[in-house]
């Protein structure tokens, strides 16, 4: 199972939000590049980067920071947040992004996702399923929809998406625990690869996720608070 550190960028800083609330942020570093390099040096084999400003606005407002991070890393990087056009995807690929995470467009424009898959390939695309009360949220988690997480995974799988990041927004940044029940349902839903995110805060949580059969776990706040030691987690799992 992949242990994937998260670097969330807002206003050029490395931050963590509480339950996706932009007014409840904790700044962990003013230098996201050094944070990403540190996770690489501790053994990370992939970094998950989110442009929080981009997710909210629909534009890559932290593009230059992300570009610097990628230039300083030798491991694959997946990036999400405000990537809503085929041109955006192409720009990300041009600077060395390995996978893009699509959220809002997966709900709003199925044909665009199909086009992106056809142009860049299945391995280059992840769809983010960001859920609050079993319904998908979009546009930086600020807008609710009437789309269920299960309907979205079925719809996207039908056009060729094979990798999903599932996030229970109510758990994100809380150090509670993942929504194991929903994650298990996601894993059993199809043959897609599921990456779990939100609430992972102990080695026990990682062990339980591994038992459910997820492809990976994205870990954010717990790494910054020291609740999880990245090197130890990677060496075990």
Give the residue numbers annotated as catalytic, written as ranges: 8, 130
Pick from 163, 141, 156, 157: nearest CA to 216:
163
Residues facing residue 49 across a β-bridge? 7, 79
What are the φ and ψ backbone dihedral angles of 213, each rounded to 5 degrees? 95, 20
Q: Give one DSSP letter per residue of 102-123, joined into a string.
A: E-HHHHH-HHHHHHHHHHH-GG
Q: Would you tell me the crossing angle of helices 149-158 and 180-189 to the nearest 10 degrees?
A: 30
What is the spatial distance between Cα 149 and Cα 131, in angstroms, rounded to a whole number? 7
What is the spatial distance between Cα 132 and Cα 21, in angstroms, rounded to a whole number? 12
What are the φ and ψ backbone dihedral angles of 5, each rounded to 5 degrees? -70, 145
């Amino acid at each position: 199972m992949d242990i994937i550190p998260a670097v969330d960028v807002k206003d050029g800083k490395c931050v963590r939000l509480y339950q996706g609330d932009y007014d409840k942020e904790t700044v962990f570093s003013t230098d996201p590049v050094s944070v990403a390099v540190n996770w690489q040096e501790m053994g990370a084999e992939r970094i998950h980067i989110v442009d929080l400003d981009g997710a909210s606005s629909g534009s890559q407002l932290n593009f230059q920071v992300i570009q610097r991070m990628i230039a300083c890393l030798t491991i694959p990087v997946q990036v999400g947040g405000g990537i809503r056009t085929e041109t955006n995807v192409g720009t990300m690929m041009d600077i060395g992004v390995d996978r893009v995470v699509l959220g809002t467009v997966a709900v709003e424009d199925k044909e665009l996702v199909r086009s992106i898959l056809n142009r860049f390939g299945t391995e280059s695309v992840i769809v983010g399923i960001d859920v609050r009360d079993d319904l998908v949220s979009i546009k930086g988690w600020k807008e609710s929809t009437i789309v269920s997480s299960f309907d979205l995974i079925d719809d996207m799988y039908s056009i060729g998406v094979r990798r999903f990041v599932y996030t229970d927004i109510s758990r994100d940044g809380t150090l509670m625990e993942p929504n194991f029940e929903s994650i298990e349902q996601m894993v059993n839903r199809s043959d897609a690869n599921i990456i779990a995110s939100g609430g992972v805060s102990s080695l026990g949580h990682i062990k339980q996720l591994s038992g459910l059969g997820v492809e990976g776990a994205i870990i954010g706040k717990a790494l910054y608070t020291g609740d999880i030691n990245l090197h130890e987690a990677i060496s075990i799992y």
